[in-house]
Amino acid sequence: MGKGRVEAFTDGVVAIIITIMVLWLKVPHGEDFSALLPLWPIFFSYVLSFINVGIYWNNLHNMFHTVQRVDGRVLWANLNLLFWLSLMPATTAFMGENHFAPVPVAVYGIDLVLCAVAYTFLATKALGNDRKGKISVALYAAAVPLAFVNQWIGVAIFVLVAAVWFVPDTRFSRVLEK
């Protein structure tokens, strides 16, 4: 089974996920800047999720680049990841609309845990190993109970893990060019 169509389908689903999140940015009816202010939690959670989904797309891009062929198991492991990613618009809105209250932050964290577990499972099926993925799972899993101590610890972990994936990605390219 060629990998081209799995990539195309994955790109399509991820493109839709990353874009429909904006539908939850409800348009304010007031005419001045103060009408936009209450949108900041939704906007901030949208930015966070946009970066997270962007990182997943980037990783899937690199993973399928190294994989030669996909079989039924890889295909379903990939659909499993897409399922948990597809919940991200809903969990993002849940977190943003409730102004980062502990439970919504924990629910968002649980979704990230399940995405990371699904990604690690897929990477193991497709590549054989995925150490960075396992560390991410552990960090996200820690964020869930910590959100009840203080929700901003949870949010800080989400930002931290995103940075861990984002920074080397761009640094790596810079090194390669030298």
Q: Is 87 in the site for a second copy (CB under 8 A)?
A: yes
Tell me which stretch binds a second copy (CB under 8 A): 7-15, 114-122, 130-138, 152-160.
7-15
Note whether 97 and 42 are within 8 A (CB). Answer: yes
Q: Which two tokens stand for residue 173?
A: 């390219």
The DSSP secondary-structure symbol of 28 reads P
> Considering beta carbons, is residue 29 or 131 the nearer one to a second copy?
29
Distance between CA 99 and CA 45 in Å, rounded?
A: 9
Contact 86, 17 (CB under 8 A): yes
Contact segment (CB under 8 A) with a second copy among 59-67, 126-134, 137-145, 153-161 equals 59-67
The whole-angstrom separation of Cα 104 and Cα 97 is 9
Q: How far is the CB of 175 from a second copy (least distance, A)?
A: 10
Q: Is 79 in the site for a second copy (CB under 8 A)?
A: yes
Among the listed ranges 84-92, 112-120, 134-142, 152-160, the one in contact with a second copy (CB under 8 A) is: 84-92
Asked whether 132 and 72 are in contact (CB, 8 A), the reply is no
- Strand stretches in 22-91, DSSP E: none
- Residue 33 as a binder of a second copy (CB under 8 A): the answer is yes
Distances, alpha carbon 131 to alpha carbons 33, 119, 134, in Å: 46, 11, 5
In the complex, which residues of this chain contact a second copy (CB under 8 A)?
Answer: 1-2, 5-9, 11-20, 22-25, 27-33, 35-36, 47, 50, 54, 57-58, 61-62, 65, 71-73, 75-76, 79, 82-83, 86-87, 89-90, 93-94, 97-98, 101-104, 107, 166, 169-170, 172-174, 176-177
